[in-house]
Chains A and B, each alone.
Chain A
Amino acid sequence: MSNTTNASAAAYARIGPPGQTSRRGALRQMRRHWQLYIVIALPITYFILFKYVPILGVQIAFKDLSPKQGIWGSPWVGFKHFEEFFRHPNFWMLIKNTLFLSLYALAVGFPAPILLALMINELRNGLFKRAVQMVTYAPYFISTVVMVSMILLFLAPRIGAIDHIRTALGFESINFIGEPSLFTTIFVFSDVWQFTGYSAIIYIAALAGVNPQLYEAAKLDGASRLQKMIHIDLPSIMPIMVLLLVLNMGQLLNIGFEKVYLLQNPLNTSASEIISTYVYKVGLVQANYSFSAAVGLFNSLINLGLILLANFGARRATGTGLF
């Protein structure tokens, strides 16, 4: 396995040489770099304000937030909001939709860029290779709003391209986006269209760093092209695969609010209502802060559990993890 890729994943976890500075050394270093501490003060303030204060703010999930008393003064109510959510008639539907959508997206969206990268890696450097790369990651730059409107235009009954093909072949015209059973597929495959090329960049870069001697050796041993892909290419991108899988698992339930929300319509909500859209509607549209903060916290905790689980699994299976 090449050194670059091997070191790469480990580098995420490695934060720097272990600090062995004694207290006196620390003071001396701080005096020496006092200007840098002033420079860093502003961004650190940003992180405290916009990342850590909200974490303290999750306490409203255990309180009844009243606008007058504020976050800290409102009365504690324990797990009331959580119990309310668990008993909510939509609870299982939300969990089911969220899990189904995100697992489906992961199952299709995770391997797709790996396959693309492995294939691109087999091409000779030339016009076609560059064209494939340049074209496949262009859609990454399309905004979510435009992407969703493209989906709507393509799938629209009557004027959409897909419907034209169907009617031309003698099928009935369908309102795709109003069909709950098609929602997840539309979501997942439009994501594949938009992001596969971009996500493949990482893998292509890793494959470019594979030691050529490995290929030479494999050739002498009479390995076929496919065998080289499986036994050399795949193991060399394994650390990055593990890393991205763990990170993706951690984001599993945070799956694209923006796109789901824009794709939603009254006809498909039975499949498209997920935890994050529900939090937005109940919390910000109906201003039911505490309840929806509880739902959001529940979501975050499951995410945290999943990332720890995925990391544990990755460590067990491949010996590398994110942390």
Chain B
Amino acid sequence: MAMAASNKIREPLSDKALLIVIYVVLFAVLIAVLYPLIYIVSSSFSSPQAVVAGRVWLFPVEFSLKGYTAVLQNPRIWAGYGNSIFYMGFGTLISVALTIAIAYPLSKRTFYGRTFLMYLLIATMIFSGGLIPYYLVVKNLGLIDTRWALLLPQAIAVWQVFIARTFFQETIPEELNEAAEMDGCSDLRFLRSIALPLSKPIIAVLVLMYAVTAWNAYFDALIFLKSADLYPLQLILREILIQNSVDNSMMVDVRTMEARQGMKDLLKFSLIVVSSLPVLILYPFVQKHFVKGVMIGSLKG
């Protein structure tokens, strides 16, 4: 706390003790969160023998890239990767466009019906029809087993609408709009040439939030998709990582039972790293914007 730094009055002993406890606890938290992540990465760069024998503690043991070569040789992982990139890219585009299309009008004080529409949105946060009616709607629309099933049904997140609406309300002055209107500027033109260019930060937040969600989603794919060639990466990960079905194409030059098991385990570590790569690369950038987004959404409602 800045306060403590400028503190001229001698700090009581109990305060110091509390601060030390806080530092110790937070240091322990830091280690507890970091260690599993380091362990995963280190294991992925170790040899199958070291992984299966549990010799990896902190750093890679018997450095090898066998896990990665096995992962990269699997055509299904490539296909899943490609599909996920498609769902993420296209889905984010649809989501961001629709979110702005609803959040912007709702941010206008002179937009008739906005109170009613806001209640309509809030109600969907509190009550939903449940899984089966949701599934039946998608089915009746003929979206089952098509790529649209992953792009449309979850396209708008109400929370994101609130965040965007708050941003528009706070950053784009109503007076500016009125002045533009006087000069004969239409709503659409104002949105395109003034409001959107002013809203780059919120668009970045929306893109990142939707992109991460799309990359990590698996539930809709699980219930809506049947053809394996449409599967996003997460569904393929589920088969390999959780249902333990590793096909033999990944088991090159592994002969003994034990080597096989080691390879299977190693493969999982490498796959975890590979599949988290896009988000990992974006992380430093993402986290800054995420924090901003969460703060807009929470503090200014």
- The answer to whether A and B come from one shared complex is yes
Mark A residues whose CB is within 8 Å of B: 4-5, 8-12, 14-19, 21, 25-26, 29-30, 32-33, 35-37, 39-40, 42-44, 46-47, 49-58, 60, 71, 116, 119-125, 128, 131-132, 134-139, 141-146, 148-150, 152-154, 158-159, 161, 164, 193, 197-198, 201-202, 205-206, 209, 212, 215-216, 219, 224-226, 240, 247, 250, 257-258, 262, 276, 279-280, 283-284, 289, 292-293, 296-297, 299-300, 303-304, 307, 323
Q: Are B111 and A289 in contact, CB atoms less than 8 angstroms apart? A: no
Shortest distance from the beta carbon of A72 to any chain B beta carbon, whole Å:
11
Q: Are A146 and B105 in contact, CB atoms less than 8 angstroms apart? A: no
**B115 interface residue (CB < 8 Å to A):** yes
Q: Across the interface, name the chain B residue whose C-beta is closest to A280.
A: B131
Query: Can you offer 25 A-B residue contacts whose CB atoms are under 8 A?
Result: A19-B114, A36-B108, A39-B101, A47-B120, A51-B129, A53-B133, A54-B136, A132-B30, A136-B30, A138-B33, A138-B287, A142-B216, A143-B275, A145-B234, A149-B268, A201-B291, A205-B294, A205-B295, A206-B298, A225-B15, A240-B298, A284-B132, A284-B223, A292-B132, A323-B122
Q: Are A296 and B130 in contact, CB atoms less than 8 angstroms apart? A: yes
Given contacts A11-B300, A137-B287, A143-B215, contact A300 B128 (CB under 8 A): yes
* Distance, CA A151 to CA B245, complexed state (A): 18
User: What 1/0 flags go to B173-215 for Cβ under 8 Å of A?
Assistant: 0000000000000111001000000000000000000001001
Q: Are B137 and A50 in contact, CB atoms less than 8 angstroms apart? A: yes
**B257 interface residue (CB < 8 Å to A):** no
Contact residue among B1, B119, B127, B269 (Cβ-Cβ distance under 8 Å from A304)? B127
Q: Are B218 and A36 in contact, CB atoms less than 8 angstroms apart? A: no
* Distance, CA A138 to CA B99, complexed state (A): 26
Given contacts A40-B101, A141-B212, contact A161 B132 (CB under 8 A): no
* Distance, CA A57 to CA B237, complexed state (A): 33
Given contacts A36-B187, A51-B128, contact A15 B40 (CB under 8 A): no
Q: Are A159 and B51 in contact, CB atoms less than 8 angstroms apart? A: yes
Given contacts A5-B299, A33-B110, A131-B30, contact A138 B152 (CB under 8 A): no
Mark B residues whose CB is within 8 Å of A: 1-5, 7, 9, 12, 14-15, 18-19, 22-23, 25-26, 29-30, 32-34, 36-37, 39-40, 51-52, 54, 98-99, 101-102, 104-106, 108-115, 117-122, 124-138, 140-141, 152-156, 186-188, 191, 212, 215-219, 223, 234, 237-238, 241-242, 265, 268-269, 272, 275-276, 279-280, 283, 286-287, 290-291, 294-295, 298-301
Contacts of A303 in B (CB 8 A): 127
Shortest distance from the beta carbon of B186 to any chain A beta carbon, whole Å:
6
Q: Across the interface, name the chain A residue whose C-beta is closest to B37.
A: A138
Q: Are B111 and A50 in contact, CB atoms less than 8 angstroms apart? A: no
Shortest distance from the beta carbon of B153 to any chain A beta carbon, whole Å:
5
Q: Which of B26, B154, B298, B301 has the most CB of A within 10 A?
A: B298
Given contacts A5-B299, A284-B135, A296-B132, contact A40 B105 (CB under 8 A): yes
Q: Are A124 and B275 in contact, CB atoms less than 8 angstroms apart? A: no
Contacts of B133 in A (CB 8 A): 53-58, 60, 293, 296
* Distance, CA A99 to CA B175, complexed state (A): 51
